[in-house]
Chain A
Amino acid sequence: MLHIFCPHCGEYREEEEFRCKGQAHIARPLDPEACSDEEWGHFMFFRQNTRGQHRELWVHSTGCRKHFNVIRNTVTYEIEKVYLVGTKPETEGAAS
C-alpha cells in the first residue's frame, strides 16, 4: 500500500484515501470539433504503458477531494515527485 504525500493537505496519508485517475497531462483538446475521429480516439483511449517513471493524476478522494500529479516509478512503485495540476516539473528520464 502506497504512502502518498498530498500537496494540498501537506502530509503523508495512506493509499486508501486516494484514487488514481490514470496518466497525467492528458489535456482535453481545446477545439474538439477540429479533431479527426482518430485524434479524438487517441485523446480518449490511448495511454502509455510506461516502465519506469510514470506521470499520474491522483485525487485525495476521501480527504481534501483535490487532484494532483505524481511521478511514480512503475517498477519500484516509488513516488519520486508530487506536484500540482497545472505544473509539470522536469525530471531525469521521465516520460512526457
Chain B
Amino acid sequence: MSQTNRLSSGGLIDRRKPLSFQYNGKQYQGYEGDTLASALLANGVDIIGRSFKYSRPRGIVAAGAEEPNAVMQIGASEATQIPNVRATQQALYEGLVSSATNGWPNVDFDVMSYVGKIGGKMMPPGFYYKTFMWPQTMWPTYEKYIRKAAGLGRSSTMKDPDQYDTLNHHCDVMIVGAGPTGLAAARAAAATGARVIIADEQEMFGGSLLSSRELINGKPAIDWVRTVVDELSANPDVVMLPRSTVNGYHDHNFVTIHERRADHIGDRAPVGMTRQRMHRVRAHWVVLATGAQERPLVFAHNDVPGVMLASAVTTYIERFGVVPGNELVLMTSNDDAYLTALSWASTGRKVVAVVDSRAKADGDLVKQVIDKGIRVIFGSAVYDVDGGTRVKAARISGLTADGKKLTGKSETLSCDTIASSGGWSPVVHLSCHTGSRPVWDDNIIGFVPGETQQKQLIAGGIRGHYDLLDCLTEGMNCGYVAAERSGYGPVGKRPEYKVARIRRSPAMPLFLVPHLKPISQAPKQFVDLQNDVTSAGIELATREGFESIEHVKRYTAMGFGTDQGKLGNINGMAITAQVLGKSIAETGTTVFRPNYTPITFGAIAGRNCGELFDAKRYSAMQPWHEENGALFEDVGQWKRPWYFPKSGETMQQSLNREVLAVRNSVGILDASTLGKIDIQGKDAREFLARVYTNAWAKLGVGKCRYGLMCKEDGMVFDDGVTSCLAENHFLMTTTTGGAARVLEWLELYHQTEWPELEVYMTSVTDHWATMTISGPNSRKLLAQLTDDIDLDKDTFKFMDWRPGTVAGVPARVFRISFTGELSYEINVSANHGLQVWKKLMEVGKQYDITPYGTETMHVLRAEKGFIIVGQDTDSTLTPYDLGMGWAVAPTKPFSFIGKRGMAREDAVKPNRKQLVGLMAKKPDVVIPEGSQAVANPNQPIPMTMLGHITSSYYSATLGRSIAMGLIRGGLDRMGETVYYPQADGSVIEAEICSPVFYDPKGDRQNV
C-alpha cells in the first residue's frame, strides 16, 4: 500500500524506519513517529467508524485527545485487546493490529445505514429517559441491538498478560503539559532546585511547537524544545513523564497520572517492564499548562469524512508529513486558522478558498495568505457539505455581521477537505475537578478556569493566551512563583525569550453556522460527533423544557461519550444559549470530572490484583488444615476451615460426622480468628461495665463471662467472652469479623467520652493460636497433655480459665463452650500453635479426635440456640428481642451504652421481631435461610411478612432439621404455626419453639 498522502520530506517522522500495521484486516505502512491516525491518513483511509446513532460514516477529525470518531480496538491477540483507544493518541509500532470500534458488519458497508433512519427515530434526544418508558421487558433486546450496532469496543475475555503498577511521589512543582508554557515553567522551577514533575499526554514534549514554524531566539521552535528537554533530563530533581496523561486533579493538590510506558512499543510490554503506571503525586504547587483545543464550527453535514479541525490539518502536515486531502476549503472565524492554509499551500496541494465569517481581517497571517494569491472570501461561511463518504464540495453563502443569518448568494466550492475553526477552547478540565466552575471570557471567546482553593497556577493557553511569547513568559513566571512558594529561589538571572509577535485581528464569536432552513428543518448539524447530538436535538431539548445546561447535557447525552465532549460541549452550550436567547455566560457550562481521558482497568488495579488483590489472613495451623483436606470459608480476610471432608463424603455427610464426633467423643476447632483485645488499667473493669450490657464488678480473677455489646440505640452489635486475667487485666474476645470495629469503637469511647478512665487496649488477635477441644472426652484428652492444671470439675469449673502448660508450652486454658459440650479453649503463642495442635491430634487419636470447621460449629451452636452476631442479628435487635434479657444488668450504676436506647418507646413496643426457634413440620425439610414467614400462605400478594429465617441446618444430633429466625412477637407465640412460601410456589410449614433444641439445662457443658 502506498502512502498517497505522505509528503516526501518534513515532519518529525523517520522515513528510514517504516512500520507495518494492520487496520480492519488490511496491511498498511507508516513510519516511526506516526500515530495510528496519521498513518491511516497517510494511507488515504477516510472512514474509520460509523456513528453511534445514525450510523453515518465518520473520519478522523482531530489530532489529539479530543478526537471523537477514531476510537479503535487495539490488540494482536485476544489477551491483549484494548478497547476505546483514540487513534490520535496511539503511537504506531511494528505489527500494530487495530480495528474500527464502530461499524457492523464493517465500516465501509454498514447494515445500519439502511436502517439508519429507523435508528435515528428510535433514538431521539432524551433517548435514555424515554426508553425507560417502553416496556421494560424489551430493554434487553434494545440494549443488545444498540450495543452491537454502535459498538462500544470490547475488553478481552482472557487474563491480561501485562503488569501494571503504581508509583507515589511528592514534589514541589507539578507541571501539567509540556508545550511552550509547561516547558518554560519546568525550566524555571527546576533552576531553583525545586523537585519538579512535568507530564504530557503526547509521545514527545513540545505541544504546539511540534507543528509550529515559529522561531524562538532566532531558531526553529523544535530546537528550543530539544534544548530544554536535554537540560531537564540532566537534572536529577526533574521527573519527566511523556505519554502520561494527568487525568485527575484531586483535593489538596493530589494529582493522578496515567503513564503509558509500553503502549508505543508493541502489543505486549517488554519483559521486565510494566505496561502502564499510575502516578499518585502530592504536589506543593501545580502549574496547569494544558493549553487549548480548537473548536470546530457547526454546520450542516459537518460530519462527512474530510471535515477536520484546522489545527489538526496543520499538525498532520507539519509534524507527520501527511496532507489529508487534495483540495482544501478552510472555514474560520479567526486568524490562527490561516496557518492551515499556509501549511497546505506549502505542500503544493490546492487551497480552494479561505472562507472567513468576519467582514474583514488584516492580521499578519491573513496578509500572508492573501499574498500567496489564495482566494479569501470574507463575510461568508460554509453552511452545508456535499458528499457521503468523503467531502465533495462546500456550500458557502454570505453571512450577516452577527452570524445569525445567511445573506446573499450561495456558491458551491469543489473540494475534498474542509478544515474549520471556531477559535480555541482552553483545556479547563483539570481545573474543574475539585469543584471550581469555569468562567466565560468574552475577550477570548472561551471558558477559563474559575477560582480555586488549590495551590494552582495557570499559564498560557488555558488562560486564553495563545501568543507564543506570552506563553513562554507566563510559563516561566509561574514556574518561578510555584518554586518560590514551595520554598526555593529566588533566581537572579532569568532567561530571555525572543519571539516575533504575530499581529492578529479580532476573532468573531461564531459557533453554529446558520442554514437556509431553520435549525429544526436543516440537515443535521452535528455538535457532539461521538454521541450524534445535533443542534436540532439541543433545540428540541430546550423546547421540551430542559433549559438548564446540565439538563440539556443529560437529555441529549451531549458529552457522554469516551471523549467527554471535548470537541462539542462548548458549541453545545453556545447553541443552547442561542436558542434560549441568553448569553453563554448566563447559560454557563457543565463541569468536567476525572478522568480527563479513559484509563485502563489495568492501570487502576496496578499490582492489586490476583493474589495481591486483598490480604489473606491464616491461622498458625493453616498448613495442617491444608494437608488434611479442609475446605475454606472467607470470614473477613481470614481463611477459616469450613469442614474437613473425607473421600466420598457429601458435605452433609461430613457435617453429620463432625457434629456427632463432638457430641459423642471429642472434636477440635481452630478458633484463632476470634478477635482478642488485651485490656489493662486500673479502670479496666469500670470500662467493661460501661461497654457491655451486663455486670462486671464481681468477675474474679480466673473467671470468664459472656457479654453483649450494643450501640447507643440499644441494638446488639457484637458479643464475646471476656476473662479476668488479673485484677486490672482482662482479655476480651470479639467476633472474627468485628475485631477491628470493636477496638476502634472502644477507643472512640475512651478517647472522646471517658478520657479520665485509665485503660489501655491492644489487639492481640494474631499473637495467640486458639484451639477448642469440645466433647465428653475433652477433659481426658487435656489431662494427658498437662500436669500443672488441675482439671477437677469442681476446681476448674465451667466459665473458669487457668494458666499452665499444655503439650509443654505455656498456655491459657478457658473452660467455655460454644457447642454446649464440655469444652476447653487452649490458647498458646501463635508460634507454638501448629506444634500443640499436632500434639492434640496425636494424643487425641485414641478418642478419634475429629477436626471440625465453621459449618459444623454453626450447627452445634444452633442446636444450643447460641446466636451469631451478624447472622441472627442485623442491628435492629435488642438483647430482649434475642431472648437474652439475662445478659442485661439494668441496675448497674453507670448508664451503660445501649441502656437508654433499648428503653426507647420503639424498642419496647409489643410485637417487635424476636428471635425464636423454628421446627419444620416435616423434619427432613431444611427451611432455606432468608425465607419469609407469613401467617397465612393463601393471603394475596403482597403478604404480611412476620420475619425471616436467620439460621437453618440439618441437626445430626437430633436427626431432624432445626432453624432460628425472627418472628413478630415470637417469644409469646410458642407452639404457633407459621408458613414459609418458597420461590417455587411450595410452602414450608413450621412451628415456633424455643431456640434451645438440645440439652436446655446445660448439663453437658457443666459436667
Question: Contact: A3 with B904, CB < 8 Å?
Answer: no
- Confirm or deny: B748 has a beta carbon within 8 angstroms of a beta carbon on chain A: yes
In the bound complex, CA of A64 to CA of B247 (Å): 32
Interface flags for A24-48 (1: CB within 8 Å of B; 0: not) read: 0001100111010100110110000
Interface flags for B428-439 (1: CB within 8 Å of A; 0: not) read: 000000110000
In the bound complex, CA of A44 to CA of B964 (Å): 30
Scoring A14, A21, A32, A66 by chain B CB atoms within 10 A of each residue's CB, the highest score goes to A32
Question: Contact: B904 with A40, CB < 8 Å?
Answer: yes
- B751: chain A residues within 8 A (beta carbon): 66-67, 85
- Confirm or deny: B453 has a beta carbon within 8 angstroms of a beta carbon on chain A: yes
- B895: chain A residues within 8 A (beta carbon): 31-33
Q: How far is the CB of A63 from chain B (nearest CB, A)?
A: 12
Question: Contact: A3 with B744, CB < 8 Å?
Answer: no
Q: How far is the CB of A7 from chain B (nearest CB, A)?
A: 13
Q: A76-B435, A77-B434 are in contact. Are A43 and B712 (CB under 8 A)?
A: yes
- Confirm or deny: A91 has a beta carbon within 8 angstroms of a beta carbon on chain B: no
Question: Contact: B744 with A59, CB < 8 Å?
Answer: yes
Q: In which size bucket is the chain B interface?
A: 20 to 34
Q: A1-B250, A1-B252, A32-B895 are in contact. Are A67 and B713 (CB under 8 A)?
A: no
- Confirm or deny: B646 has a beta carbon within 8 angstroms of a beta carbon on chain A: no
Question: Contact: A77 with B252, CB < 8 Å?
Answer: yes
- A27: chain B residues within 8 A (beta carbon): 753
> A55-89: which have CB < 8 Å to B?
57, 59, 61, 65-67, 73, 75-79, 85-86
Q: How far is the CB of A14 from chain B (nearest CB, A)?
A: 8
- B753: chain A residues within 8 A (beta carbon): 27-28
Q: How far is the CB of A13 from chain B (nearest CB, A)?
A: 11
Question: Contact: B752 with A85, CB < 8 Å?
Answer: yes
Q: How far is the CB of B249 from chain A (nearest CB, A)?
A: 11
Question: Contact: A3 with B900, CB < 8 Å?
Answer: no
- B899: chain A residues within 8 A (beta carbon): 32-33
Chain A residue at smallest Cβ distance from B904? A37
Chain B residue at smallest Cβ distance from A67? B751
Question: Contact: B905 with A44, CB < 8 Å?
Answer: no
- Confirm or deny: A2 has a beta carbon within 8 angstroms of a beta carbon on chain B: yes
In the bound complex, CA of A43 to CA of B530 (Å): 52
**Contact for A78 among B453, B747, B755, CB less than 8 A:** B453
In the bound complex, CA of A85 to CA of B904 (Å): 29
Question: Contact: A67 with B748, CB < 8 Å?
Answer: yes
In the bound complex, CA of A27 to CA of B712 (Å): 12
**Contact for A1 among B251, B712, B744, B748, CB less than 8 A:** B251
In the bound complex, CA of A79 to CA of B755 (Å): 25
Q: How far is the CB of B433 from chain A (nearest CB, A)?
A: 12
Q: How far is the CB of B255 from chain A (nearest CB, A)?
A: 10
Q: A59-B748, A61-B744, A65-B747 are in contact. Are A44 and B713 (CB under 8 A)?
A: yes
- B277: chain A residues within 8 A (beta carbon): none
- A78: chain B residues within 8 A (beta carbon): 453
Question: Contact: B252 with A2, CB < 8 Å?
Answer: yes
Q: A32-B900, A37-B904, A44-B901 are in contact. Are A21 and B453 (CB under 8 A)?
A: no
Chain A residue at smallest Cβ distance from B251? A77
- B453: chain A residues within 8 A (beta carbon): 73, 76-78
In the bound complex, CA of A85 to CA of B713 (Å): 23
In the bound complex, CA of A41 to CA of B905 (Å): 11
- B250: chain A residues within 8 A (beta carbon): 1
Q: How far is the CB of A72 from chain B (nearest CB, A)?
A: 10
> B1-31: which have CB < 8 Å to A?
none
**Contact for B254 among A3, A44, A76, CB less than 8 A:** A3
In the bound complex, CA of A73 to CA of B254 (Å): 17
In the bound complex, CA of A41 to CA of B751 (Å): 23
- Confirm or deny: B282 has a beta carbon within 8 angstroms of a beta carbon on chain A: yes
Question: Contact: A3 with B748, CB < 8 Å?
Answer: no
Interface flags for B817-837 (1: CB within 8 Å of A; 0: not) read: 000000000000000000000
Q: A1-B254, A59-B748, A86-B755 are in contact. Are A33 and B900 (CB under 8 A)?
A: yes
In the bound complex, CA of A37 to CA of B903 (Å): 9
> B467-518: which have CB < 8 Å to A?
none
Question: Contact: B251 with A85, CB < 8 Å?
Answer: no
Known A-B contacts: A19-B744, A32-B899, A66-B747. Give 5 more (CB < 8 A).
A3-B254, A40-B900, A40-B901, A65-B744, A77-B453
Q: Which residues of B contact A (CB under 8 A)?
A: 250-254, 282, 434-435, 453, 712-713, 744, 747-748, 751-753, 755, 895, 899-901, 904-905
30 intermolecular pairs with C-beta atoms under 8 Å apart: A1-B250, A2-B251, A2-B252, A3-B252, A3-B253, A19-B744, A21-B748, A27-B753, A28-B712, A28-B753, A31-B895, A32-B900, A33-B895, A33-B899, A35-B900, A37-B904, A40-B901, A44-B713, A44-B901, A57-B752, A59-B748, A61-B744, A66-B747, A67-B747, A67-B752, A75-B435, A76-B435, A77-B453, A79-B252, A85-B755
Q: Which residues of A contact B (CB under 8 A)?
A: 1-3, 14, 19, 21, 27-28, 31-33, 35, 37, 40-41, 43-44, 57, 59, 61, 65-67, 73, 75-79, 85-86
